[in-house]
Structure formats: C-alpha cells, structure tokens
Amino acid sequence: MTTEPNTPDAAESSRSEHVPDSDTVTPVMEDYLKTIYELQYDRDGAVWTSRIADSLEVTPPTVSSMLEKLERRGLIHREKHRPVTLTETGENVALGVIRNHRLLETFLADYLEYEWDEVHAEADRLEHYVSDQFVDRLTAMLEHPSSDPHGDPIPDEALAAPTRSWIRLSEAEAGVSHRVERVRADGERLRYLADCGITPGVPVEIVERTPLESVEIAIESDPDHEPNSQVLPKRACERILVGPLPGNN
Amino acid sequence: MTTEPNTPDAAESSRSEHVPDSDTVTPVMEDYLKTIYELQYDRDGAVWTSRIADSLEVTPPTVSSMLEKLERRGLIHREKHRPVTLTETGENVALGVIRNHRLLETFLADYLEYEWDEVHAEADRLEHYVSDQFVDRLTAMLEHPSSDPHGDPIPDEALAAPTRSWIRLSEAEAGVSHRVERVRADGERLRYLADCGITPGVPVEIVERTPLESVEIAIESDPDHEPNSQVLPKRACERILVGPLPGNN
DNA sequence: ACAAATAATTAGCCTAATCAAATATAATAG
DNA sequence: CTATTATATTTGATTAGGCTAATTATTTGT
C-alpha cells in the first residue's frame, strides 16, 4: 500500500509520454499525510496549516499548495481557512507509511543494534522507499510484531492498528504501580527519558504530585535494586502511557 | 560516504536561506555516477552521452545537462563531444553507492529470502537512502561479506574493491572444469541462467564450441547427479566469470 | 462593533530533473 | 574534400517541491 516505486521493468518500458502522474503519491505527499494523521489522532484534534508547517519544518504557503494538491488527488477534505481531515484513501496511505516506519524501527533496534533514540531518523527516510514485498518479508522475519521499540502499535497488513487502552502516567493513581507501555517523544527528550530508565515494560509509580505541575515518580528499572526516584514535569508524564502491571492487578 | 541526507536535527535548524546546495550529491546524481563507473569499468571503456542515456532510460539532452552539473560539482571530467571520465571524488561516490547496493542485495537474499533475480530492483532504490551508520551496522550483521549473491565484489569501508582475477567462461579451455564466480546479468536473462543452474559456486565446463558463436557447456549443479548440458550463445558466456575449481587445479 | 492581531492564501520566483524540437559538431562515405 | 549521417548540445517547456512578500480571512480584545 506504499510507494512501490515505478518499476519500468518489462522490456523497452514507457519513458517519454510526459505523464502528469495524477494518482502517484510521492514520498513528500506521504510525509504530509502521515503528519496530518498524527496531528489528528495523537494530539488534540484539529489540523491547521500552521501545525503541519511546524511539524514538517516548511513554510505555511508550501503547506497550502501541497494541501491543494492532496485535495485534488482525493486524499484530504479541505475548506478554506478550516482544518483539514484525511479521506479514507488518505488515511490508508498514512497508515501504510506508519506501518513501514514502525517495522523499520523494530528492525533497526532488534537486528542492527540501533539505540532506542537513533531509530527514528533512519526509519523516517526509509519508510518511503521500501516496497510492499520488502515490508512483507520483514514482518515475517520479525515475527509479526505488534509494537515498535517505543511501544507504538504497528498496523497489520490490512492497516488495522491494534487498539489497546493505555492511560497517561500523569493520570495514574498515586501509589499504584503501572507498567510503561509507550513513550511518545523523540530526540533529546527521548534520550533523557531512556536515561531515567523509562522504557516499555518497566514498572513505574507516582509518588507525589507537586503543586508546581511536576510529578515525582519511582522507576523500577531493575527488579533487584531499589526504585529510582525522579521528578518530571506533568507535560512529560502525559506522554508516557502506562497499563496495568501484570500480576499486580 | 553516501547520501546521509540532510539532517536539520539541531534545534531551529536552517530552513529558508535558499541554498544553491553546491556540494550535495542527489540520489539522481548518484545514479549517473554509478552508471558512468559501470560503463567505464565493466564494459569496453569509453562513456558516451548516449550510452548513459540508454542505461538510465532517459534522453540524451537530459544526460547532457546532468553532465554539465556533475562537471561543475567536480565529479567528472568532460570535454564537449568526448566521452566522460570520473574524477577521484566522483569515483568514490560511485563506489559508495555500489557498496550500498551489493550489501543490500546480500541482506535481501540472506535474510529476507529474496530470489536471486529479485534483489536488484529493491537494492537499486534503497542504495540511495541508507545512512553510513545503517551500512556499517549491516556489514557487521552480514559479517563483512566480500561478494554479493551474484558474485560481484563488495568494496570495503575504505571503498577498495577486492580485485580478484576471473576469466570469462567463453575463454575457458574446453574440457576443463571451472567454478562459477560471478554472473553479470539481470532480470529475465539472470532468471534464465539461474534456471539452468548457473549460480556462483557451481562447477561448469565447456564441452564444445560450435562454429555458430554458441557454446555447449556442462553444469554440475548437484554433485550427486550427472551434469546438466546446455547450449548458450557466446555473448552469454562472456558474462559468466569463472575461476579455478578448488581441488581440481 | 470594530480595530488589532493572527493565520491562511495568492502571486511570483527558484532549483532539480525531465522531455521534444531545433541546432551544432564529428565521423564517414563517395 | 565535400555531403550525409550519427551524436551531442542548446533551447524552451513541464512537474514537483520549496521560499518570500503581499494580500485576505478570521479571531479577539476592548
């Protein structure tokens, strides 16, 4: 469902003919669709031109003209000066790219010994250039993983995202231990959290909420040692998703 | 030494500034350089505009304008209406791409169960988008292979191609068994040769040369069975490279 | 209710890569 | 030593993606 780039393959292929290529989705378009999807579902709702511009590090006019193109291709719904939404087609393209991304991240971490915070940049590029065949074979090799190294769910071949219900660490009850399921951050922030021991699978517990929008938590990275205590801003705890601790229900 | 695409990374990176980008090598440029390298070393010498156009399936004017750009970037030497040659820089770029290509082919065949003739197309795309880090880790995982599934030598990290001396099967002495080392073909032709049992490692022997520019050969794909006999055109045998059969010197 | 501030769009231009048509150059055949 | 032919290059367009500056909508604060 992704790029599957032009395979001129068969003897004396096309060339010439100046195809306006009205239904090809380019890598850049894929990036826009993925960004729209993430803004729509992962943060709070409405997807405005300027939010897309910020995420992709381009200027608003650039986004405007791309949105026009995406609308003509039937990939988004748009009204002037209103937030955009994905069509079903557009959402499927986005999910395909996200699937590629998360599978690649898993591969990089499991087979190429990439660090937790290094996988993102590499996957962000390759996600647009791997063929469906490559992705199929890769999932088989990885034994059909359901989540990537950050705990993000990997859509299956039919693009159905395994929905599970996590809560935000910021909303967990104080004094109750939970298991880290997902850490939604990248770059420096991600590295910092990893250094604190916050990675999927680790038990954490809120010790105390301060009146200053920060939260003291206890992290049990290593079951044999005493928990590591850490004070994090509430905003950071909102991006750490946790679930029930198995055996400690 | 390859792409390592723009990593705006650090906070509030470039954007704007309208960089004419005078020393970036684009994926397309990499393709031209790789093609020039292959035409220069793998076939008979002189690299003309139209040969490049044929290989890349673009028109001669397109090649002309790209060659001008490559010359300005210091990647090729060129005089009007003369064949081009690579500068040292240009050759290094080409070798880097070839290294990426052959390593990817090896990975696809060894880990993702790609067929011998399927690896090329996938590697041809990905070769431009993998980072140096990716390639380094991949070589480690593959245990520093010295040749790809077709027997083509893989340049090492310093881009030195392991030179070995093969002879063409077409030039081998009749009645003497040799070992297939390299099969220089792609697509349909490659698939056909594979079906005949001609893959690296297999012992072959010229049975008889006909006066019609074709050659009868015996192929011992399976040591337990009797050799498979096949008549191939001489042109095909020129692209099958063989070496001495170990133990039968 | 209206001016000020904020956000989106339009207009016009740029680079990379491509093509077709026209032109120029080199090679070769009389 | 010209005339024909095969190549190469130049010219002028096109498409994709991007930018700046100017303009237009929308939202907000008084």
A95 pLDDT more than 90: yes
Residue A12, CA distances (Å) to A65, A71, A102, B54, B119 in order = 35, 34, 37, 10, 20
What is the pLDDT averaged over residues B215-235? 86
B45 pLDDT more than 80: no
pLDDT value of position B78: 94
Which of B53, B86, B119 is the last residue in one of the domains? B86
Domain-located, residue B70: yes
CB A46 within 8 A of CB A67: no
Domain-located, residue A179: yes
Per CB-CB distance under 8 Å, the chain B contacts of A11 are 188
A243 touches strand C (CB under 7 A): no
pLDDT value of position B4: 41
Per CB-CB distance under 8 Å, the chain B contacts of A118 are 133
Domain-located, residue A174: yes
* B79-121 residue pLDDT tens: 988 999 999 999 999 999 999 999 999 999 999 999 988 999 9
What is the pLDDT averaged over residues A83-110? 97
CATH number at residue B226: 2.30.30.90
**Interchain proximity A134–B121, CB inside 8 Å:** no
- pLDDT tier for residue A163 given thresholds of 50, 70 and 90: confident
B6 pLDDT more than 80: no
* B179-211 residue pLDDT tens: 999 998 877 888 888 888 898 889 999 989 988
Residue B242, amino acid: V
Domain-located, residue A157: no
B7 pLDDT more than 80: no
Range of the domain at B218: 167-244
CATH number at residue B54: 1.10.10.10
B7 and chain A: CB distance < 8 Å anywhere? yes
What is the pLDDT averaged over residues B218-229? 84
* A131-157 residue pLDDT tens: 999 999 999 999 999 999 999 999 999
- Strand C close residues, chain B 68-97, CB < 7 angstroms: 69, 80-81
A11 pLDDT more than 70: no
CA B25, C1' C20: Å apart? 27
Which of B39, B54, B86 is the last residue in one of the domains? B86
pLDDT value of position A44: 66
Lowest-confidence pick of A149-158, A219-228, B14-23, B74-83: B14-23
Q: What percent of chain A has pLDDT over 70?
A: 89
CATH number at residue A117: 1.10.60.10
Average pLDDT, chain A: 86
Protein-proximal positions, strand D, CB < 7 A: 7-12, 14-22, 25-26
- Pair (A132, A74) in one structural domain: no
Number of domains in chain B: 2
Q: Which of A148, A144, A172, A171 is nearest to A158 (CA)?
A: A144
Q: Which of B155, B179, B169 is nearest to B206 (CA)?
A: B169
Per CB-CB distance under 8 Å, the chain B contacts of A122 are 130-131, 133-134
**Interchain proximity B112–A138, CB inside 8 Å:** yes
d(CA A100, CA A28): 15
Tell the burial category of B35 from Cβ atoms under 10 Å away from its Cβ (0-12, 13-18, 19+).
buried
Size of chain A, expressed as the number of residues it contains: 249
d(CA A190, CA A196): 10
Domain-located, residue A78: yes
Position with higher pLDDT, A173 vs A226: A173
Min Cα separation B84/chain A (Å): 24
Residue A61, CA distances (Å) to A49, A52, A53, B6, B21 in order = 9, 11, 9, 22, 22
